[in-house]
Amino acid sequence: MNPVKIKSPATIANLVCGFDVLGLALNEPQDLMEVTLSEKPGIRIQHNDIYNLPTVPEQNVAGVALLELMQELDNAVGFDIIIEKHIKPGSGLGSSAASAAGVVVAANHLLGNIFSKEDLVRFAMAGEKLASGVKHADNISPCIYGGITLIRSIFPLDIIALPAPPMYVSVVHPQIEVKTSDAREILRKEVLLKDAIKQWGNIAGLVAGFMQNDYGLISRSLEDVIIEPVRSMLIPGFDEVKKRSMDAGALGGGIAGSGPSIFMLCKEENAAKKIEAIMKDIYNNMALAYHTYVTTINNKGITISQEL
């Protein structure tokens, strides 16, 4: 049977104030995957990358997501999967989501698109639970839907695709690892009511800013008083990156997912490139290896083709 080839984008979860409820898809980087429907039952996974990830389906985020999908099939079928990761695991850029979402979108295509996007999110969330211990959809949803998404509810799933004005995204990935499970473990279990009220206002303001193409409101709303003050301590150089980026004209930004990547949103490309130079300068001075990207919002999500 002919394989289907896909590109599965990196994503940024939380968008500063929207912990577990907001996320956006990026045009760079993207994972490459090839999935083939087989008459031979079972899942066979091959990795063509340097990360030495598990190939046993029950231990692989793509495998677990696909097993979730296969439970709802009447006929016993199998899948052969080749994964070439360009989104480094542990980067905070939705590496596990790209694998889990990518494989279920590809499988659904091969099966004749019998499942809805919400179904695919539900299947892929099983991969996120394997990766982080929690079923969350803030990376999965934009990966599948494209653009910016709001997850109003997980149980039951209620996903809203949000419009947004054009924006550029500057990202720096310091070459350290912050595991999502560890980053969740350090969070406070209770928050002050005054902090919760401020956070709710910022989330509502950010959504309204996206919908109204209001860059000023977007900028004012990119504030996190609950998660970022704790998690930022795990990321060397975070405070300097954020301050200098804001001084250079960024709309705002913060930790990408659970980190260690840091992102900044900009209205203009030249500002985004200026901020990338600032990010490079900071980590060069720290003698800490890093990768940077200047990219835009990916409004398509996962793309399918026979040839990449």
Whole-angstrom Cα distance, residue 290 to residue 287?
9
What is the token pair recorded at 5? 């080839």
182-206 core/surface letters (b: 16 or more CB in 10 A; e: else): ebbeeeeeeeeeeeeebbeebbebb
What is the token pair recorded at 155? 């149980």
36 catalytic? Reply is no
- Catalytic option among 11, 68, 149, 180: 180
- Catalytic option among 128, 228, 276, 295: 128
Task: Tell me which residue has tokens 């045009």.
Answer: 27
128 catalytic? Reply is yes
Task: Tell me which residue has tokens 């303001």.
Answer: 205
Closest among 89, 266, 305, 245 to 168, alpha carbons compared: 266
3-state secondary structure of 70: helix
Whole-angstrom Cα distance, residue 276 to residue 169?
9
What is the token pair recorded at 79? 């899948």
Please give the distance of CA 105 from its chain centroid, rounded to a whole number: 16
Closest among 87, 165, 99 to 131, alpha carbons compared: 99
3-state secondary structure of 300: coil
Closest among 219, 6, 211 to 108, alpha carbons compared: 6
Q: Which residues pair with 33 in a beta bridge?
A: 6, 83
Q: Which residues pair with 5 in a beta bridge?
A: 34, 305
**What positions carry a catalytic annotation?**
128, 180
